[in-house]
Structures are given as structure tokens and as C-alpha cells.
């Protein structure tokens, strides 16, 4: 059969009917709703960069307060107190004081030819006995005293204990006619005290008379040997250690001396204040005529004693010069308890009104700060709310500027920082 033949009818094509058209409509509405929700959510989300930009735009200005503080021009460095050595002073030897040993008569230094002669008779009488114990009966030296040869230090069992020159060789009593370095040391001490005596190492009659008079000035008599001859017991002399000595503590009355019990304790030398400075800072200390030691709010004038060469610390690896400064008396007395000090090359000023240097601006006519308004709501405006206040800068140091008193800038006033 020919489909193209005339008179032939085409078959009718019909589309299949959708069974549930309501479901399709609902799906379309749901998709449209999801698109709308996604769009709205996207408008509410910002990138981190955009968030930071917004925060920077709305951040409040940085402020600082006007303070009362010392603004110190010049160099100020931390220091430390170096304590000196502490020594015990003990009696020169064991045994009683106030006893001159019984020996053969010493030769007369003015005898024939001035030669040493041996006595022919030994003394049979026994020397007087001293106390069985060495007990402090009176302490003369006091805390803080500087000791020197010839000073009466204490009275022990009723007898004097006298400071002798450092290095005095004490091993025998001083009686008429002996010669030696021990005699020479005593003669040098007497000469230093202002007595007229030959300093020749020979204990002649003139030297013995001088010793007798010196003892009487101290309030004591020279003891006698069994032969009735006066002499200076070597145990009543106490050789001082070398150096400058200051009494720190003393034994009390009634203290029994002997063994490890000291008559007194002394400090050898004086405490000093030391600081380590670099190659640039050391120049300011060399130029400074005086420096100032600062502690506990005090400022004490002091002298630079020494400036060391540039050295590197083996432990820390830090290089610097050690500056040694004399410890002022007020600080020396408390050197054992004060631990924090500073050294300044310029005299500290009194506390004054001060502001951070970063808060100061200038326009060619004057220097000024911007006073933060008390109204916190108005403080968001950078220029409109801040009040310009002209200032007079007195000193600058350590990031702070001391300023002249200003009624608009009391302590605690808020100012804006650049």
C-alpha cells in the first residue's frame, strides 16, 4: 500500500497524559524557594578580608594617660652592689693576757759596743699569773668604726687588746734590750701615733719609756715580769689584716674567747656599685664628673672609681666595660639588704607630668596633644571630637616626654596616640 497515494489519511498522534501534575508543580516551587534562600544567604556572608577592613574602619582611637613620672635625661643603667670580704679578728694567741714571760735578762742595748750580751743570771721568781680565761670585760670598738694600728679594741679579762700594724711578727714579749722586726713595727706604730721615738728596731730605754707612757694614756700599766721589769706582752697586740677595715659586729661583754670565737668581725674594703655598659654608653661615664646611684626613690651622688677595658663574659657572651662606682655611705650601711640599684649620669629630676612621645604632634608653631573627649559615644570621631592642647616639652627620655603643668592635662587625662 502506497502511503503517498492521494486520498490516504495520516494517523493521529496523541501525547501521553501526565498522571500527577500537582507533584511537578510542587517540585518547581521547591527549587525556586531554594534559589531564593541561597541568594539571601550569600548576601549575609563576608570574606575575612572584608571583615577586617570593616573593623579597621570602625576601630576606636588608641589612647594613653597623662602620668606623673620622672623623665630622666642622660644614661641610666642597672647596677649591682658588690659586698666586700668579711673577716674574723681573734686574739693573737692562746693563753692569758697581762703576763710578761720570765726569761733571762735581755742585754742592755746601750752596753759596751752596743753588742748583744747574754745575761748571766736567770730569774728564779715566777711571772705573775693572769686570768684563767679570756673574757670580754669591755668592748671599745663599735660597729662602723674604721680600725687603725694603735686603736684600743677591747678589754679582755681586765687587760687591753690593741690593734697592731698588719704583718707584725708577734712571738715574744717586748722587754728592754730586744731587737728585731717586731720592735721595728711597734716603733713605726708609735711614730704614726705622734710619739717621738727612734725607729731603728732596738728596744732601748727611750722606746720602753714611750711604750709605758702610751699605755698610761690608754688607762693601763705595763705588767711586770717576775724580775720586776716592765714589758709589753705580745698577746695584748692584735695584728690587723691588710686593707681598710670597718667593724661590722662585736662580741658582747662576758663573751668567752678562744677557739672559733672572734673578738669582732670586720669588713675589708668598702662596698662598690658596678654596672656593665657597652662601647657607646661608656663614653657618657667617662665624661661624667659625678654620677648618681638610685635606689628606693633616693638619688645619691657618687664618684666613678674605675672603668674597665672591654671584655666578653665567658658565660653570657656579652661584651662590655665594667664601671665601678663608690658606694654612698647611706647605701653602704645597708649593702647587705638592698639588691636593686641603678646608676645615672645625670641628676634625676622630680616627678612631673609626662606623656608618651608618640602622642605628641606639631605643626611648625607649637607641639600639642589631642585630648580624648570624656563622652565615649563622641569619641568615635577622629578629628571632630579630639581637642587640641598645646604643650611645653621639658625633657625626653625612654619614650616619654616631661611637660609643663597644664590645667587641661591633669594626671589620668586620656590623650590620643599617633
Mean pLDDT within 63-81: 84
Residue-level pLDDT at 156: 95
Average pLDDT, stretch 393-414? 88
pLDDT of residue 324: 93
% pLDDT > 90, the chain? 46
Q: What is the signed CA dihedral for 276, 277, 278, 282, rounded to 10 degrees?
A: -130
In this predicted structure, what is the pLDDT of residue 352?
86
Q: What is the residue-averaged pLDDT of the chain? A: 81
Tell me: pLDDT of 234 over 60: yes
The answer to whether residue 23 scores a pLDDT higher than 70 is no
30 pLDDT exceeds 60? yes
C-alpha to C-alpha distance for 18 and 330, rounded to whole angstroms = 110
pLDDT at 335: 72
SS3 335: coil
Identify which of 71-80, 85-94, 127-136, 276-285 has the greatest average pLDDT: 276-285
Q: Which of 69-83, 90-104, 118-132 has the lowest mean pLDDT?
A: 118-132
Give residue 121's pLDDT: 32
What pLDDT, on a 0 to 100 scale, did the predictor assign at position 151? 97
| pLDDT for residue 203 is more than 80 | yes
Question: The whole model's pTM is what?
Answer: 0.55
Instruction: Sketch out the chain's domains with CATH numbers.
Output: 63-71+351-416 (2.40.420.20), 76-84+270-344 (2.40.30.170), 89-109+127-268 (no CATH)
- Inform me whether the pLDDT recorded for 41 exceeds 50: yes
Closest Cα partner for 349 from 409, 288, 395?
395
Q: With 60 as the cut, is the pLDDT of residue 164 above it? A: yes
pLDDT in tens, 220-233: 999 987 778 899 99
Neighbouring residues of 379: CB distance < 8 A, sequence distance ≥ 6: 60, 61, 372, 373, 385
3-state percent breakdown (helix, strand, coil) of the chain, nearest 5: 20, 30, 50
C-alpha span between 65 and 359 (Å, rounded): 10
163 beta partners: 238
Please determine, for residue 116, whether its predicted confidence score (pLDDT) is greater than 50: no
Q: What is the pLDDT of residue 365?
A: 86
Per-residue model confidence as pLDDT tens digits over 352-390: 899 999 999 998 889 999 999 876 555 455 555 789 999
Higher pLDDT, 406 or 347: 406
- pLDDT at residue 376, rounded to an integer: 54
The alpha carbon torsion through 24, 29, 33, 34 (nearest 10 deg) reads 10
| 393 close to 356: Cβ distance less than 8 angstroms | no
Per-residue pLDDT for 282 more than 50?
A: yes
Amino acid at each position: 500500500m502506497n502511503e503517498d497515494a492521494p486520498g490516504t489519511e495520516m494517523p493521529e498522534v496523541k501525547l501521553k497524559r501526565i498522571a500527577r501534575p500537582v507533584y511537578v508543580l510542587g517540585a518547581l516551587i521547591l527549587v525556586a524557594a531554594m534559589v531564593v534562600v541561597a541568594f539571601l544567604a550569600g548576601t549575609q556572608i563576608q570574606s575575612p578580608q572584608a571583615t577586617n577592613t570593616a573593623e579597621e574602619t570602625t576601630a576606636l582611637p588608641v589612647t594613653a594617660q597623662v602620668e606623673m613620672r620622672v623623665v630622666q635625661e642622660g644614661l641610666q643603667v642597672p647596677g649591682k652592689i658588690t659586698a666586700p670580704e668579711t673577716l674574723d679578728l681573734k686574739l693573737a694567741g692562746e693563753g692569758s693576757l697581762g703576763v710578761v714571760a720570765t726569761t733571762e735578762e735581755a742585754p742592755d742595748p746601750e752596753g759596751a759596743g752596743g753588742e748583744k750580751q747574754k745575761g748571766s743570771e736567770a730569774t728564779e721568781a715566777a711571772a705573775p699569773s693572769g686570768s684563767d680565761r679570756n673574757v670580754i670585760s669591755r668592748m671599745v670598738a663599735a660597729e662602723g668604726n674604721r680600725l687603725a694600728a694603735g686603736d684600743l679594741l677591747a678589754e679582755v679579762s681586765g687587760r687591753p687588746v690593741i690593734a697592731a700594724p698588719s704583718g707584725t711578727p708577734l712571738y715574744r714579749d717586748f722587754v728592754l734590750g730586744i731587737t728585731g722586726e717586731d720592735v721595728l713595727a711597734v716603733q713605726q706604730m708609735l711614730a704614726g701615733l705622734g710619739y717621738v721615738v727612734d725607729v731603728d728596731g732596738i728596744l732601748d730605754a727611750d722606746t720602753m719609756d714611750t711604750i709605758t707612757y702610751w699605755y698610761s694614756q690608754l688607762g693601763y700599766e705595763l705588767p711586770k715580769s717576775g724580775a720586776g721589769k716592765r714589758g709589753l706582752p705580745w698577746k695584748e697586740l692584735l695584728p690587723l689584716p691588710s686593707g681598710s677595715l670597718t667593724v661590722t659586729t662585736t662580741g658582747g661583754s662576758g663573751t668567752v674567747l678562744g677557739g672559733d670565737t672572734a673578738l669582732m668581725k670586720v669588713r675589708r674594703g668598702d662596698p662598690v656599685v658596678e654596672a656593665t655598659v657597652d662601647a657607646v654608653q661608656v663614653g657618657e661615664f667617662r665624661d661624667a664628673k659625678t654620677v648618681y646611684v638610685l635606689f628606693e626613690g633616693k638619688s645619691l651622688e657618687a664618684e666613678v672609681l674605675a672603668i674597665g677595658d672591654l671584655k666578653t663574659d665567658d658565660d653570657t657572651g656579652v661584651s662590655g666595660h665594667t664601671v665601678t662606682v663608690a658606694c654612698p655611705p647611706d647605701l653602704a650601711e645597708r649593702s647587705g639588704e638592698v639588691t636593686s640599684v641603678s646608676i645615672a649620669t645625670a641628676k634625676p629630676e622630680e616627678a612631673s607630668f609626662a606623656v608618651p612621645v608618640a602622642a605628641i604632634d606639631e605643626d611648625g608653631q607649637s607641639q600639642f596633644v589631642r585630648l580624648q573627649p570624656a563622652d565615649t559615644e563622641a569619641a568615635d570621631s577622629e578629628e571632630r571630637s579630639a581637642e587640641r592642647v598645646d604643650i611645653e616639652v621639658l625633657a625626653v627620655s625612654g619614650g616619654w616626654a616631661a611637660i609643663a603643668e597644664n590645667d587641661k592635662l591633669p594626671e589620668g587625662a586620656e590623650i590620643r596616640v599617633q
